């Protein structure tokens, strides 16, 4: 009989190296991973057998068996699931299809924390955890419906072999040759304890084969079918780790029965931590669809809208036909109803938490708020409810605020909800456009999620108050009364002073110098200490939105901006004096260009011509030094 030698894909080798050498904190989990795979394999066959009952070949009682041999130090995990043929073995146990693995490798090699072994499950490389306890692993497998069995064998050091072999029945037997320091895993009590801890919720029996009769170690009924009162928090947690490939604890566990027009059981989890691949477009979620306990599909986008893609767990429908194909799911009317039911359930759970568990909700929002906000423009029907729970950073302290609380704090005469957006919250707080607002004590929301640029235009209002970007159009600050009456008076005085010494001549000179480089030049009422800033047209796109579009090649060029100058600033006053005396003074051209470039820098934008900027700056400095 010929034996083929093959090399692991480079990534697998790297992974195995990490598994064998550095990750030894909680070795028990190898059993959880292998039992989980066995259970998945049984789920897969149960589904295939709906269309092809012959595949079961008279053996319809799915089971995972554990066999120990404490003389040879061997532990075998066997299942009668779907099995693997030669191609499957090469594909599944020799390569890593999962794109997350590279990220796992990075995360683990950077981390000092040995506990990160728990990450293995999350990154879908569970099988290789066998090499934490074994120096040789043999997999004998026969695929359901095929005649030839195969044996895969490896010591985890770069190579594996595949050969034909004999096997009774179908399924997969994984034999672990335990290393000397892992003999404990042939101990029956040890196994009993591990299975109880990690695999109790598995829907099929995990049976320990003993001389004096077999013993089923787990509860062996699908967890979600059991009454809530009989499920412990630990069991809910373990089931979460199993279904969600997660290593955190769930923040919320929602287990309920929908009755009436449509009947289904939902066991939904909201995570505590943000999954590493939440923004990966190829990410498949971890919500599993069952029909009367038969597994149908995982990552069912049909079950939840994308803005709830972090929700994991199980949905078990009573009404869907068992032979529903994965393709049919797409627009099955029953599924549409289930989706709407699940969405409402999660939303009301979030509303409850927002009211009762502020701290927990804020942590949740920190992790998932940006995803939930996608719902504001993708899902008009839930817009209002999402807006009500949404949390924002603002210039009012370091905490979070709701829109309702913001509105509560609005000043007399303030008509709009003001916001500014950018990448970095600290940079935002220093934006010149905020100066006038800060002086009058007007609160401004600080938006840092790219998604904010998308929902803002489509939502437009909250409680009939318009959202208004402080980087767009006129600020109209004079109509708003601040708490500090003196500040208002100062404003008046300044206004009068400003109209005395008009900056009209300077504005005309700057316009002439900048030409089409700016859309307009205006006197500002939003600046107090900076000399100038950029503003977008009232009708135009928000500054940051436009930058974002440019990054994604949605627009070719950012359109010219409005340059606002601060008439109260001493530099502007001096330039203004010069302009009044001689509108053609050469310094005005350089100054205009420098002011524009300075405003660009304050915006965090790259200068179109840094060389000229530097040259002009040198020139002006030299003049300043009296050269
Ligand atoms: P994951 O379970 O996340 O896919 P694993 O490393 O645990 O990752 O397993 C890799 C793949 O190997 C599985 O997706 C499956 O296709 C296959 N596999 C592992 N164990 C079994 C088994 N007992 N029966 C059938 N296929 C299996
Ligand atoms: Mg697995």
Q: Quick one: 355 and 396 in the same domain?
A: no
Distance CA 524, CA 528 (A): 9
Q: Are strands 206-208 and 134-142 parallel, antiparallel or unpaired?
A: unpaired
Question: b/e per residue, 421-440, with b = 16+ CB within 10 A?
Answer: bbeeeeebeebbbbbbbbbb
What is the per-residue pLDDT for 554?
A: 67
Q: Is residue 364 part of a domain?
A: no
Q: Quick one: 156 and 19 in the same domain?
A: yes
What is the per-residue pLDDT for 248?
A: 87
Whether the pLDDT of residue 104 is over 70: the answer is: no
Q: Quick one: 438 and 548 in the same domain?
A: no
What is the per-residue pLDDT for 611?
A: 96
3-class state of residue 152 by DSSP: strand
What is the per-residue pLDDT for 454?
A: 86
Distance CA 27, CA 486 (A): 69
**Which of 108-122, 128-142, 360-374, 401-415 has the weakest average pLDDT?**
108-122
Across the strands, what pairs with 447? 421
Q: Are strands 465-469 and 417-421 parallel, antiparallel or unpaired?
A: parallel
Neighbours of 441 (CB within 10 A): 16
Q: Is residue 366 part of a domain?
A: no
**Which of 11-25, 258-272, 308-322, 430-444 has the weakest average pLDDT?**
11-25
> Cβ-count burial of 396 within 10 angstroms (0-12 exposed, 13-18 middle, 19+ buried)?
middle
CA nearest ligand 1 atom 23, residue: 38
Q: Is 152 in the pocket of ligand 1 (CB under 6 A)?
A: no
Q: Is residue 589 part of a domain?
A: yes
570-581 and 586-602 helices, crossing angle to 10°:
150
| Domain boundary residue, one of 303, 337, 359 | 359
| Domain boundary residue, one of 336, 359, 382 | 359
3-class state of residue 89 by DSSP: helix
The confidence band for 125, taking pLDDT boundaries of 50, 70 and 90, is: low
Q: Quick one: 191 and 74 in the same domain?
A: yes
Token pair, residue 601, equals 């820098």
3-class state of residue 567 by DSSP: coil
Q: Is 594 in the pocket of ligand 1 (CB under 6 A)?
A: no
Cβ atoms of 94 and 6 within 8 Å: the answer is yes
Q: Residue 384's domain is classified under what CATH number? A: 3.40.50.11260
Q: Quick one: 210 and 233 in the same domain?
A: no
Cβ atoms of 134 and 178 within 8 Å: the answer is yes
Q: Quick one: 324 and 453 in the same domain?
A: no
According to the per-residue pLDDT averaged within each range, which of 283-287, 601-605, 608-612 is highest?
608-612
What's the CA angle centered on 584, arms 579 and 589, to 5 degrees?
85
- H helices present in 305-382, as ranges: 333-356, 358-372, 374-378
Of residues 54 and 547, more confidence is placed in 54
Q: Residue 464 sits in which domain range?
A: 372-479
Distance CA 80, CA 400 (A): 53
- What is the maximum span of the chain, computed from C-alpha positions, in angstroms? 109
The side-by-side arrangement of strands in the sheet containing 465-469 is 400-401, 392-394, 445-447, 417-421, 465-469, 461-462
Whether the pLDDT of residue 118 is over 70: the answer is: no
Q: Quick one: 242 and 389 in the same domain?
A: no
Whether the pLDDT of residue 521 is over 90: the answer is: yes
Which of 563, 559, 553, 538 has its CA nearest to residue 469? Answer: 538
Region 401-414: mean pLDDT is: 95
The confidence band for 401, taking pLDDT boundaries of 50, 70 and 90, is: very high
Distance CA 526, CA 242 (A): 55
CA nearest ligand 1 atom 21, residue: 37
Q: What is the DSSP string of 367-425?
A: HHHHHHTHHHHH-GGGHHHHHHH--EEESSSSSEE-HHHHHHTPPTT--SEEEEE-S-H
Ligand (nearest to CA of 129): 1
Q: Is residue 217 part of a domain?
A: yes
- Counted domains in the chain: 4
Q: Residue 172's domain is classified under what CATH number? A: 3.30.565.10
List Cα–Cα distances, 572 to 515, 516, 566, in angstroms.
19, 21, 7
Token pair, residue 108, equals 């683990």
Distance CA 32, CA 217 (A): 13
Neighbours of 384 (CB within 10 A): 11
Cβ atoms of 277 and 119 within 8 Å: the answer is no
Token pair, residue 567, equals 């008439």
Token pair, residue 407, equals 């509105």
| Domain boundary residue, one of 445, 460, 479 | 479
Q: pLDDT tens-digit profile of 31-47?
A: 988 999 999 999 999 99
Q: Is residue 62 part of a domain?
A: yes
The confidence band for 295, taking pLDDT boundaries of 50, 70 and 90, is: confident
Q: Quick one: 471 and 541 in the same domain?
A: no
What is the per-residue pLDDT for 201?
A: 86
Q: Is residue 173 part of a domain?
A: yes
Mean pLDDT of the chain, nearest integer: 88
Could you give the count of Cα atoms lying within 13 Å of 278 in the half-sphere of its Cβ? 19
Q: Is residue 131 part of a domain?
A: yes
Sequence-distant (6+) residues with CB within 8 A of 188 are 68, 208, 210
Q: pLDDT tens-digit profile of 190-219?
A: 999 999 988 888 989 999 999 888 999 998
Q: Quick one: 15 and 145 in the same domain?
A: yes
Q: Is 92 in the pocket of ligand 1 (CB under 6 A)?
A: yes
Q: Quick one: 46 and 176 in the same domain?
A: yes
Q: Is 127 in the pocket of ligand 1 (CB under 6 A)?
A: yes
Distance CA 143, CA 186 (A): 28
Return the ligand 1 atom nearest residue 44 CA.
25
Q: pLDDT tens-digit profile of 253-265?
A: 999 999 888 999 9
The confidence band for 458, taking pLDDT boundaries of 50, 70 and 90, is: confident
Q: Is residue 367 part of a domain?
A: no
Cβ atoms of 118 and 209 within 8 Å: the answer is no
Of residues 18 and 349, more confidence is placed in 349
Q: Is 45 in the pocket of ligand 1 (CB under 6 A)?
A: no
Sequence-distant (6+) residues with CB within 8 A of 17 are none
- Pocket probe for ligand 1: among 30, 40, 93, 101, the residue whose CB has the most ligand atoms within 8 Å is 40
Cβ atoms of 101 and 124 within 8 Å: the answer is yes
Token pair, residue 64, equals 């995972």
Whose tokens are 């095929």? That residue is: 146
- Pocket probe for ligand 1: among 78, 97, 127, 242, the residue whose CB has the most ligand atoms within 8 Å is 127
User: Residue 125 Cα, ligand 2 centroid: separation in angstroms?
Assistant: 6
Region 498-503: mean pLDDT is: 62
What is the per-residue pLDDT for 500?
A: 47
Which of 106, 109, 425 has its CA nearest to residue 276? Answer: 106
Q: Quick one: 239 and 293 in the same domain?
A: yes
Neighbours of 229 (CB within 10 A): 5
Q: Residue 577's domain is classified under what CATH number? A: 1.20.120.790
CA nearest ligand 1 atom 20, residue: 37
Q: Residue 269's domain is classified under what CATH number? A: 3.30.230.80
Q: Quick one: 355 and 402 in the same domain?
A: no
The confidence band for 360, taking pLDDT boundaries of 50, 70 and 90, is: very high
Cβ atoms of 600 and 607 within 8 Å: the answer is yes
């Amino acid at each position: 009989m010929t034996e083929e030698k093959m090399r692991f894909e480079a990534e697998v080798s790297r992974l195995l190296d990490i598994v064998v050498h550095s990750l030894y904190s909680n070795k028990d989990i190898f059993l959880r991973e292998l039992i989980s795979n066995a259970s998945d394999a049984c789920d897969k066959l149960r589904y295939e057998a709906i269309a092809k009952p012959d595949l079961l070949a008279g053996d319809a009682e799915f089971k995972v068996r554990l066999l120990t041999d404490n003389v040879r130090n061997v532990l075998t995990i066997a299942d009668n699931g779907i099995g693997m043929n030669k191609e499957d073995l090469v594909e599944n146990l020799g390569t890593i299809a999962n794109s997350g693995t590279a990220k796992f490798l990075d995360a683990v090699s950077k981390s000092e924390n040995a506990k990160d072994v728990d990450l293995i499950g999350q990154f879908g490389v569970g099988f290789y955890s066998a090499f934490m306890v074994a120096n040789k692993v043999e997999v004998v497998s026969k695929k359901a419906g095929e005649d030839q069995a195969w044996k895969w064998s490896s010591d985890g050091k770069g190579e594996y072999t595949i050969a034909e072999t004999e096997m009774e029945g179908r399924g997969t037997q994984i034999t672990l040759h335990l290393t000397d320091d892992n003999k404990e895993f042939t101990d029956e009590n040890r196994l009993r304890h591990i299975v109880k801890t990690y695999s109790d919720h598995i829907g099929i029996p995990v049976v320990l084969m003993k001389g004096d009769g077999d013993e089923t170690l787990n509860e062996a009924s699908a967890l979600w079918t059991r009454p809530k009162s009989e499920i412990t928090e630990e069991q809910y947690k373990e089931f979460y780790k199993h279904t969600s490939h997660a290593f955190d604890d769930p923040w919320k566990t929602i287990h309920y029965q929908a009755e009436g027009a449509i009947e289904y059981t939902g066991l939904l989890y909201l995570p505590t931590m943000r999954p590493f691949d939440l923004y990966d477009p190829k990410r498949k979620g971890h919500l599993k669809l069952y029909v009367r306990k038969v597994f149908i599909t995982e990552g069912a986008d049909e079950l939840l809208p994308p803005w709830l893609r972090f929700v994991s767990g199980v949905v078990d429908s009573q009404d869907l036909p068992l032979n529903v194909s994965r393709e049919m799911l797409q627009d099955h009317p029953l599924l549409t109803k289930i989706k709407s039911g699940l969405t409402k359930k999660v939303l009301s759970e979030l509303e409850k938490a927002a009211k009762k568990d502020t701290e927990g909700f804020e942590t949740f929002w920190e992790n998932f708020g940006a995803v939930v906000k996608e719902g504001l423009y993708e899902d008009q029907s839930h817009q209002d409810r999402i807006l009500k729970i949404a949390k924002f950073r603002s210039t009012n302290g370091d905490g979070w605020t709701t829109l309702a609380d913001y509105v509560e704090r609005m000043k007399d005469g303030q008509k709009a909800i003001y916001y500014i957006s950018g990448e970095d919250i600290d940079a935002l707080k220093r934006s010149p456009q905020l100066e006038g607002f800060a002086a009058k004590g007007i609160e401004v929301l600080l938006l840092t999620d790219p998604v904010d640029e998308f929902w803002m235009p489509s939502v437009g209002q909250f409680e009939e108050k318009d959202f208004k970007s402080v980087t767009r159009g006129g600020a109209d600050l004079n109509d708003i009364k601040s708490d500090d009456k003196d500040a208002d008076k100062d404003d008046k005085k300044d206004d009068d002073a400003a109209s005395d010494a008009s900056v009209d001549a300077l504005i005309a000179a700057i316009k002439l110098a900048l030409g089409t480089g700016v859309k307009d030049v205006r006197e500002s009422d939003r600046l107090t200490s900076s000399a100038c800033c950029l503003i977008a047209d009232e009708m135009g796109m928000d500054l940051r939105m436009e930058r974002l579009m440019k990054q994604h090649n949605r627009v070719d060029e950012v359109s010219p901006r409005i340059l606002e100058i601060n008439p109260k600033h001493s530099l502007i006053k001096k330039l203004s004096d010069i302009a009044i005396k001689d509108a053609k003074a050469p310094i005005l051209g350089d100054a205009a260009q420098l002011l524009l470039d300075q405003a660009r820098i304050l915006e965090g934008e790259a200068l179109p011509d840094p060389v000229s900027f530097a040259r002009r700056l040198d020139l002006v400095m030299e003049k300043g030094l009296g050269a």
